[in-house]
Amino acid sequence: MATIWLDGQWLGPEEARISVFDHGLLYGDGVFEGMRVYGGRVFRLQEHLERLYDSAQAIRLEIPLPRPEMEQVTLEGIRRAGLGDGYLRHVVTRGVGDLGFDPRKCSKATTFIIFDTIRLWPQEFYERGLRVVTASTPIPHRESLSPRVKSLNYLPHILAKLEGIEAGADEVLMLDSAGSVAEGSGQNLFIVKHRVIRTPPAHAGILRGVTRDAIIEIARDAGYDVREEMLNRYDVYTAHEAFFSGTAAEVVYIRQVDGRVIGDGAIGPVTRDMAERFQRLTRA
């Protein structure tokens, strides 16, 4: 059963409640982080906490807990929940206000952490690969809100996900407003051709994922040529391999995009190598 820490209280899922006047609910005014626990330890806890506090700073949201205290609560929650392998969700909202969206009406941020597990797809999807379609819903323009902010507003990505569901696909590929390839509904994208690994750069309007950075790091350490470059759908269609990465997704290969089989349709040697190296890193 999930364990929740909410504004200093330890609660069960049936007890945890937030106000209907919370601006995180009313306006998506807040930030969050998703983290993985492997063997009772959080993978790259410091990197996730840094992004959480940077996201809050970027939207002028003051997190009530200093970062060292947030870390201690996180570690205590893992012990309380008895998590060996699991998933954490840290959420900070602007807090309780009125029905207007003036942030000055919110006297204190609401903070909660969910200690639970997650599985985006059944295990067989990792073995047979994903069928992906391109969504017509683009990612938000990077000048409206920096994609480096992991905010509570994921509606464009949810609408894209709905397109994939209607099309009978496992996942979607999202483009930016200019038609360049950006990311999945909640994952970063990598493609491989002639053993060169390519991924859209951070300035392309994508979320710079912690798992994405880990993949780039271990790939370069392994001697691969890794390039952060703008991509279009032709690059994806003609790739020898393609895969998504993310905290919840981990590493999962893409079998087909818009009806085009990627490579021979089986997991490629580079993707398999990255998945194995990533799993070893999480257990190190």
**Which pLDDT tens digit goes with each residue over 103-128?**
999 999 999 999 999 999 889 999 99
Last residue of a domain, one of 96, 116, 136: 116
Number of H helices, E strands in the chain: 8, 15
pLDDT of 277 over the 90 cut: yes
Neighbouring residues of 282: CB distance < 8 A, sequence distance ≥ 6 = 36, 38, 43
Asked whether residue 215 falls in the same domain as residue 75, the answer is no
Is the pLDDT reported for residue 144 higher than 90? no
* Residues 60, 49, 69, 86, CA torsion sign: positive
At residue 143, does pLDDT exceed 90? Answer: no
- Considering the domain architecture, whether residues 145 and 231 belong to the same structural domain is answered as yes
Boundary (domain end) residue, out of 83, 116, 149: 116
Residues labelled catalytic: 150
pLDDT exceeds cutoff 90 at 275: yes
Residue 203 has pLDDT above 90, yes or no: no
User: Does one domain contain both 174 and 81?
Assistant: no
State mean pLDDT over 255-263: 98
One domain, residues 100 and 159: no
Residue 82 and residue 139 in one domain:
no
Q: Do 184 and 44 share a structural domain? A: no
User: d(Cα 184, Cα 164) in Å, to the nearest integer?
Assistant: 11
Which long-range contacts (C-beta less than 8 Å, at least 24 apart) are formed by 72-81?
73/5, 73/113, 74/35, 74/42, 74/45, 74/49, 74/113, 75/42, 77/3, 77/5, 77/10, 77/113, 77/115, 78/37, 78/40, 78/42, 78/115, 80/3, 80/10, 80/115, 81/2, 81/3, 81/115, 81/116
Whose CA is closest to 150, among 73, 216, 228, 208?
208
Q: What is the CATH number of the domain that holds 231?
A: 3.20.10.10
In the DSSP assignment, the letter for residue 152 is S
* Mean pLDDT score, 246-252: 96
Note the pLDDT tens digit of each residue in 48-94.
Answer: 999 999 999 999 999 999 999 999 999 999 999 999 999 999 999 99
**Same-domain pairing of 134 and 108:** no
Cα atoms found within 13 Å of the Cα of residue 69, Cβ hemisphere only: 8
Q: Which domain holds residue 105?
A: 3-116
Statement to judge: residues 276 and 201 lie in one domain: yes
Please tell me whether residues 134 and 21 are part of one structural domain: no
How many domains does one find in the chain?
A: 2
* Burial call 161-175: b when 16+ CB within 10 Å, e when fewer: bebbeeeebbbbbbb
Residue 263, pLDDT score: 97
The reply to whether 136 and 262 lie within a common domain is yes
pLDDT at residue 37 above 90? yes
- Collapsing DSSP to helix, strand or coil, 233 comes out as helix
Q: Which of 81, 116, 151 is the last residue of a domain?
A: 116
What are the φ/ψ torsions at residue 157 (nearest 5 degrees)? -70, -35
Give yes or no: residues 128 and 92 share one domain: no
Tell me the average pLDDT of the chain: 96
Do 217 and 103 lie in one domain? The reply is: no
**Cβ–Cβ < 8 Å for 87, 117:** yes
Structure confidence by residue, pLDDT tens digits, 13-34: 999 999 999 999 999 999 999 9
Report how far Cα 94 is from the mean position of its chain's Cα atoms. Answer: 21
